[in-house]
Amino acid sequence: MKIIFLGDVVGKAGRNAVHDNLEELSRTFSPDFVIINGENSAHGFGITGKICRDFFKAGIDVITLGNHSWDQPDTAQYIASEPRLLRPLNFPENTPGMGKGVFKTRKGQKILVLQVMGQLFMPPVEDLFRSLELALRSVVLGSHVSAIVVDVHAEASSEKMAVGHFLDGRVSLVIGSHTHVPTADGQILPGGTAYQTDAGMCGDYNSIIGMKIDSALNRFTNKESKSPLQPADGEATVCGVFLETDDKTGKAIKFCPIKLGGRLQLSTN
């Protein structure tokens, strides 16, 4: 199975870059399934039903969220009726929406997608390791599903790495999101699980993690400033990862970063 995961989409620049580059990504990688993290796609904060529908229409199969899940007022209502929009699995039990789902690829194979949110330097959530253990207890990679992708939306690199090793051999991909900076540690772990600490963002990298430099910098240099953050609107880079799995085992056989367009352009040849 061929899977693309694209990191946090930030604002209009990020949305446009994803839409503009999906065709090239499809030509280059021929993916069977495409996942994006969309929690910053609505002007940098949250997501709307319209943005979701536009992504799905463009060919995105699943959208994950994170700590900004509820920043837009209609999300809680929309997510209740849209199984392809996932919030963190380890949110409290009565939270709207779902943190996991089994979906069919373009070839009819089954893929399980889950998201958890980190506990270090993040808003309070349930134990992510226990949540993962419960979610995967009755699912066997390569038997019940052909692939399993876990989005770890977390601040701390160590916590993301811990999840990678905790799930090594049990899932196809553990991919970090949230910090908006693509890391250079993409690898296939000893048990066959592909791992990268952060996929990076789809947004303008002439910025401070996707936000205009002046307003973000002012928050560091002037502690009294309450100026609102605004998404940077220059040319964006689409960042993420490509994964190919073994059809029998569901484990990773090929894994590489994606950096397309903008300031971080990386050749995929």
Long-range contacts of the stretch 253-259 (C-beta < 8 A, 24+): 255/173, 255/186, 255/187, 255/188, 255/194, 255/196, 256/186, 257/182, 257/186, 257/196, 258/4, 258/6, 258/25, 259/182, 259/200
Spatial strand order of the sheet with 147-153 comes to 100-104, 110-117, 147-153, 173-177, 194-196, 187-188
Active site residues: 68
Token output for 107: 């070839």
In contact, 129 and 166? CB cutoff 8 Å: yes
Rounded CA-CA distance 50/38 in Å is 12
Looking at the DSSP bridge assignments, the partners of residue 175 are 151, 196
